[in-house]
Structure formats: C-alpha cells, structure tokens
C-alpha cells in the first residue's frame, strides 16, 4: 500500500543549480540503470519501492523515482529532483509519500549517505520478519556486511511523517544496511555503484541463507576473526568492484533495454 505525497510544498527557487549538467545527467543514467536491473532481478514490489541520490555537490536536493511507475518503466529523464520541503524542482509527478519521508529525512540527518535504496526484496525481506539477527555469518557473500548491519525493530506502520525517516537514520548509525523489522531493507552508501552492489549482495546472501535453512541442517558460522577479516578485505576493494559491477549492468541494459538512458 502506498500514497502519493500530498505535502503542501514551500516556495523554492532553482537558484544556481544547473539541472541539465552532464554530471547530473550521468547520475540520472546510473540510477535509472539500478532501477531497471532491480526490476530484472525482481527486487521491486509493485510501484511502491524507492531509491534516491543526493545531487553532486548538494546536501539538500535529491533524485527520486515518481510514484506510480514500476522500476521497469523508469528512465533517466523520468526521475524527479526534490528538496527537503517536498518541492519537485525537476520532473513530472510526485514521489510516493513514504518515499519522501524516508529519503528526505535520512539524507537530511545523514548527508554522508549520498544514496539510499529501499527495497522489499523477497529473501532479505523474509529475514525482516524474523525475531532474530538477519545473518548468521555462515555464507561468504554475507561476510562483506559483518559489522555494518543494523536492525530497526520499531515498526510503526506506513512512513507518513518525519518519525519513520528519523528513526531509520538513527538506526543506520555507522551501518550501511538496515533491516527494517516487519518491513524491508534500506541500503545507504556514498555512491550509486556502491549502494547497488551492496543491495545486490544483501539479497544474494539472504537467498542462500534461506535455502540453507530450508535443509534443516545445522549452520556453520565462521569465527569473529575470519568474518572481520573478510569484511575488511571486501570493504577495501568495494569502490572499485562496485564501479565494475554497475558498468556491467549498463552494458547489459544497453543491449536489453537501452531506453533506460533516455
């Protein structure tokens, strides 16, 4: 269930921001690619999930998807530019209400989180339904998240005011991934590539863990020292490997769905 944002916006001028700059356009293309690939993998749920990215050099303006469109429909030019007061400064339509309240508040409270991806991916969201920590650190693809996962245990229904976004921001702390109990997953990062890479591997790790649990056999978690060592190595190489991952996504889409970049 979702609702279009009905907040009465305050007056806001474009000021000296060039929304047609090459840098902003490239960000649009990259974020559109992430939307399309998320649809390809089945990470979205109807028209209700949402991703955002702060504009280059700005801590108060962000790209976000318009409400009412599947991830598979989104293009670079269809994304909205919004401010923290609910103004749509570029684009047609409005964001979904909970999308605005989550993303605007997280970006405002934690401007180091330049990109925030919120998804109801099936396997990761399944872990959100459990009264336990999401990962048991038995699978290599989960170890990259060792020490950077948080759990928000205070589900209060739909996010239709500042309280939900503020709580999510507090839950993130120094984490990169927050499992929102009874809800879904949010991934924060400094770049679109890194956020996408983490989102992808959160769902892959969750999928393998759920399948392992289904066997009924005893899990085999690794030691703290090994988990921490793997996590350090993964994070050190993450910016470069994430860029390569996103570039591979765009090459795939350039053949399979080139309209994403329009």
pLDDT number for residue 88? 96
pLDDT number for residue 17? 81
Q: What is the average pLDDT score of the chain?
A: 93
**Residue 33 belongs to some domain of the structure:** yes
Q: Is the pTM higher than 0.95?
A: no
**Residue 152 belongs to some domain of the structure:** yes
In the chain, how many domains are there?
1
**Residue 153 belongs to some domain of the structure:** yes
**Residue 6 belongs to some domain of the structure:** no
pLDDT tens profile 98-108: 899 999 999 99
pLDDT tens profile 229-245: 999 999 999 999 999 99
**Secondary structure in 3-state letters for the chain:** CCCECCCCCCCCCCCCCCCCCHHHHHHHHHHHHHHHHHHHHCCCCCCCCEEEEECCCCCCEEEECCCCCCHHHCCHHHCEEEECCCCEEECCCCCEHHHHHHHHHHHHHCCCCCEEEEECCHHHHHHHCCCCCCCCCCCHHHHCCCCCEEEECCCCCCCCCHHHHHHHHHHHCCCCEEEECCCEEEEEECCHHHHHHHHHHHHHHHHHHHHHHHCCCCCCCCCHHHHHHHHHHHHHHHHHHHHHHHHHHHHHHHHHCHHHHC
pLDDT number for residue 2? 52
**Residue 114 belongs to some domain of the structure:** yes
**Residue 257 belongs to some domain of the structure:** no
Structure confidence at residue 6 as a pLDDT band (50, 70, 90):
low
**Residue 134's domain is classified under what CATH number?**
3.40.225.10
**Residue 73 belongs to some domain of the structure:** yes
pLDDT number for residue 229? 97
**Residue 236 belongs to some domain of the structure:** yes
Q: Can you give the residue range of the structural domain that contains 104? A: 22-250
């Amino acid at each position: 269930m979702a609702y279009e944002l009905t907040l009465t916006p305050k007056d806001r001028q474009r000021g000296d921001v060039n929304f047609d700059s090459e840098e902003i356009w490239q960000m649009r293309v990259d974020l559109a690619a992430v939307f399309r690939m998320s649809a390809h993998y089945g990470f979205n749920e109807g028209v209700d999930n949402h991703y955002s990215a702060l504009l280059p050099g700005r801590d108060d303006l962000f790209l976000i998807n318009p409400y009412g469109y599947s991830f598979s429909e989104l293009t670079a030019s269809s994304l909205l530019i919004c401010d923290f007061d609910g103004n749509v400064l570029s684009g047609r339509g409005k964001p979904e209400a909970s999308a605005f309240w989550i993303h605007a508040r997280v970006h405002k409270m934690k401007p180091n989180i330049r990109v925030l991806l919120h998804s109801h991916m099936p396997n990761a969201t399944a872990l959100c339904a459990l009264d336990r920590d999401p990962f048991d650190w038995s699978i290599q693809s989960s170890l990259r998240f060792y020490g950077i996962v948080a759990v928000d245990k205070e589900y209060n229904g739909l996010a239709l005011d500042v309280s939900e976004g503020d709580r999510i921001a507090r839950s993130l702390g120094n984490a990169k991934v927050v499992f929102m109990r009874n809800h879904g997953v949010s991934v924060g990062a400094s770049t679109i590539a890194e956020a996408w890479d983490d989102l992808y591997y959160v769902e892959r790790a969750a999928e393998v863990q759920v399948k392992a649990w289904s066997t009924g056999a005893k899990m085999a978690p690794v030691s703290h020292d090994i988990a921490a060592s793997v996590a350090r190595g993964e994070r050190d190489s993450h910016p470069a490997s994430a860029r390569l991952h996103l570039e591979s996504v765009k090459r795939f889409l350039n053949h399979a769905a080139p309209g994403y970049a329009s």
